Amino acid sequence: MYELIGENNLENVRGQILKNRDITEDLLNVDENSVENYMNYDNIIEGCELLMQHINLGNTSLVIADSDVDGLTSASLLVNYLYREFPTANIIMKHHEGKQHGLSDDIIIRNDVNLVIVPDAGSNDKKQIKELYDKGIEVLIIDHHELEGEYPQYGVLINNQTSSKVENKSLSGVGVVYKFLTAFAETYFLDYPTEYLDLVAVGNIADAMDARSKETRYYMKEGLKNISNPFLKALLKEKRIGESKDVNMLDIGWSVAPMINGCIRSGTILEKQKLYTAMIDDECCEDVAKMCKNAKSRQDSAVKRNMAKIEQMLDIQENDKVIIVSSCGATKSKTGLIAGKLCSKYKLPVFLYSSDGDYCSGSARGLGNIDLKEDLNKSGLGNGVGHSLAFGYSFKKEDMQKVKDYFNELYKDIDFGNDVYKVDFEINAFELYQDFVDEIAEMEGEWGNGIEAPMIAIKDVPLELTKDNIKGNINVIWDIYGVTCIKRFASNVWKDEYIGSDMTVDIVAKCNIDEYRGNGCLEVVEIIPIN
């Protein structure tokens, strides 16, 4: 089913789309005036002085890359920039073997390291920071995650969440690193890090930062205008993105970032090493891009197998408002992905857990307008760390039913399973024309997290599908009165229902630029049979 968001104003397509999202042309045309002053960040000059002190002394600095795209781009930005400005500096980068974060125990810090820099993590690693301090090793944290508990007593913390003057809280780790390096450049009369804005864009998009934030949006759009990092270019080439249209936020979020994450989550130690090296080394980028694509494919297969096991255990009752289920041995690196898929499929918040002694811990995923993490923390039954709808958590095994009862009561009046699509326009199939689709498709680059891409409902569509329409195993292409229409099916079950049936249906679709033809096409979201 579907419903109109606002007026069905076909005379002012662009204006109606903006009105429906409560955004203005000013947001779509952000410029450098949207950039916040880095001096709003607590400790940023102190951090600059600390880094320069160690560079001047010829000390060894260790950059720890966190286990996601934001972490990878954050570390790469630091290392690439510092080596550009100080070619003889002694800077090394390490990454986690698994899905660990920050100063976790898997990172072995050599005795000759004088400074540890942790981008996109570390704010809550107070114990580890103190241990390093006691060894005479200084720590610089450049992060965007919320601080849990008291402010760290040792080390230097630069964090947009803890800095009261900072307005933009929707800036990922790589964004905060960019602010830091801008301050560093101005303090010591160095070249600005602008050539690395592509890394800033990718990290922010992958971390689902708010595209309504003017500063964040500016970094995203500016970075995508000129993608210069050889490895990012190789990933785009591997996915055939950017051949006939500009690269946009959705391309990164749906295609490029998942390939990188696929390698981080499912790659071997050697593959991960190649991935992290590729971000700071021009060699073998195309080979590593193919490697990431293959790792993503292996990950998808493993997740599918894990999902099948978990779904056999599901026992969802009519009044359940949350799913709490065992991960069935799924590796830690995949639990977030699996929880997200369960959440999307069953339209309920999900706590996917593994047991360790008296505690259950794992990955949680939410949906809608709730703050699942905050609601868990308020319960007094568990603790969540991370983002509001995607975080790690723990609670006592004996409290599992209490946690479920708590959420069932808290969310009893919320309908998570509402599958009504919000559409911007409704049009009959015979009224459909290419210019209308093109006008919407040309706005494709504007949509990102927090600003949904437009959808349209098309009534009385002749399906008329034959086996000749099949592209690959499950993709179907046909024309609606001259407009190209594409439907990607999740399985082959549809064949018996649609092929050769001559059905008339309603469809809900998005308007995208066809990568191969260069004009607008319809990407079908849902087929609605007419009773």
Residues in the chain: 531
Give the residue from 333, 326, 413, 324 showing the smallest Cα distance to 368: 413
Here the tokens at position 502 are: 């001559």
528 DSSP β-pair partners: 506
Residue 503 is predicted with a pLDDT of: 76
Q: What is the mean pLDDT of each run of 10 residues along the chain (531 residues)?
A: 92 96 94 96 98 97 93 96 96 82 80 94 92 94 91 92 96 98 98 97 96 96 95 94 86 94 89 90 90 93 92 91 94 89 92 91 91 95 88 94 96 84 94 94 93 95 66 68 78 56 84 75 84 58
Whether 185 contacts 175, CB under 8 Å: no
The distance from CA 296 to its chain's CA centroid, rounded to whole angstroms, is 15
Note the pLDDT of residue 282: 80
pLDDT at 328: 92
Helices and strands counted in the chain (H then E): 18, 19
* 2-26+419-529 topology per CATH: OB fold (Dihydrolipoamide Acetyltransferase, E2P) (2.40.50)
| 3-state SS record for 392-457 | EEEEEHHHHHHHHHHHHHHCCCCCCCCCCEEECEEEEHHHCCHHHHHHHHCCHHHCECCECCCCEE
12 conformational bin, left if phi > 0, alpha if psi -120 to 50, beta if neither: beta
CA distance 221 to 276: 24
Burial (CB < 10 A; 0-12, 13-18, 19+), residue 29, is: exposed
Strands 350-356 and 323-326 come out as parallel
Output phi, psi for 450, to 5 deg.
95, -15
Catalogue the E-assigned strands of 51-161: 60-65, 90-95, 113-119, 138-143, 156-159
Per DSSP bridges, beta strands 390-396 and 138-143 are unpaired
The confidence score (pLDDT) of residue 105 equals: 76
Q: Which two tokens stand for residue 255?
A: 């295609």
Q: Rounded to an integer, what distance in angstroms lies between the CA atom of residue 310 and that of residue 327?
A: 7
Fold for the domain defined by 41-221: inorganic pyrophosphatase (n-terminal core) (3.90.1640)
Buried b (16+ CB within 10 A) or exposed e, 133-169: eeeebbbbbbbbbbeeeeebeebbbbbbebbeebebe
Other CB atoms within 10 Å distance of the CB of residue 517: 10
User: Starting from the edge strand earliest in sequence, which strands make up the sheet with 390-396, in order?
Assistant: 323-326, 350-356, 359-365, 390-396, 382-386
In the chain, residues under CATH classification 3.10.310.30 are 320-410
Q: What is the CA radius of gyration of the chain?
A: 24
Cβ of 194: how many Cβ atoms within 10 Å?
A: 14
Task: List residues bridging with 12 in a β-sheet.
Answer: none
pLDDT at 179: 98
Q: Which helix (H) or strand (E) holds 28?
A: helix 25-28
- Are 25 and 18 in contact by the 8 Å Cβ rule? The answer is yes
What kind of fold does domain 320-410 have according to CATH? Diaminopimelate Epimerase; Chain A, domain 1 (3.10.310)
List the structure tokens of 427. Answer: 């049009």
For residue 290, the model assigns a pLDDT of 95
Alpha-carbon torsion angle 162, 163, 169, 171, nearest 10: -100
- The dihedral through the CA atoms of 375, 380, 384, 385 has a sign that is positive
Q: Is 256 exposed, middle or buried (0-12, 13-18, 19+ CB in 10 A)?
A: buried
Give 69-83 as a 3 state SS string. Answer: HHHHHHHHHHHHHHH
Report if pTM > 0.85.
yes
